[in-house]
Structure 1
């Protein structure tokens, strides 16, 4: 067995959870993915991607996170049988 060493990093729990799921779907562990990333950095002589500012403004990023939360079932969304049912409820709330 190859000799290994440990590293410790601090990341947001949601980031870790989403990364573990992503890599599990690919058949590798988070440790495997980190090892691959570091090896690629060594091969490239730096980060294996360009570092750029995101093209999205804050409002767009918030909306994208909200969409991810909805898809992950973290946000309750109400459904309606018809547009009329939706408008009925909106009218009740407004007045």
Structure 2
């Protein structure tokens, strides 16, 4: 394995750095290794390892999603639930009900 002797200096927003490093830490990966992995993926894919896009503000219906998109959403939801992230169903439905009532009042 080659010796890591090159430095990367980049300016990022503190919140972005903190959030990314928190996620990497949960995965057991240092920021340095995360950046190294990202660079290796760029080399492997001969470009960015993801498609840059602007996410839609409205959720897609199942018929608008590819199988891969749907699988990714399910996987993310499962991981969030497993990590205890999210809210209880009754809280969600109360929030949804409030939003619907509010939007109809406008």
Query: Shared fold (TM-score greater than 0.5)?
Result: yes
Per-residue CA distance 1:1-33 (angstroms, 9 max, x = gap): 714210100111001111111101111111110
Per-residue CA distance 1:40-94 (angstroms, 9 max, x = gap): 000100001111122128xxxxxxxxxxxxx9xxxxxxxxxxxxxxxxxxxxxxx
Aligned length: 58
The ranges of structure 1 where at least 4 consecutive aligned residues each deviate by more than 3 angstroms after the TM superposition are none
Over aligned residues, Cα RMSD in angstroms? Answer: 1.9
Larger Rg: 1
Gaps of 5+ in 1: 58-70, 72-95
Gaps of 5+ in 2: 59-84, 86-106
- Distance in 2 separating the partners of 1:40 and 1:49: 10
- Distance in 2 separating the partners of 1:32 and 1:46: 19
Residues 1:21 and 2:22 aligned together = yes
- Distance in 1 separating the partners of 2:18 and 2:32: 13
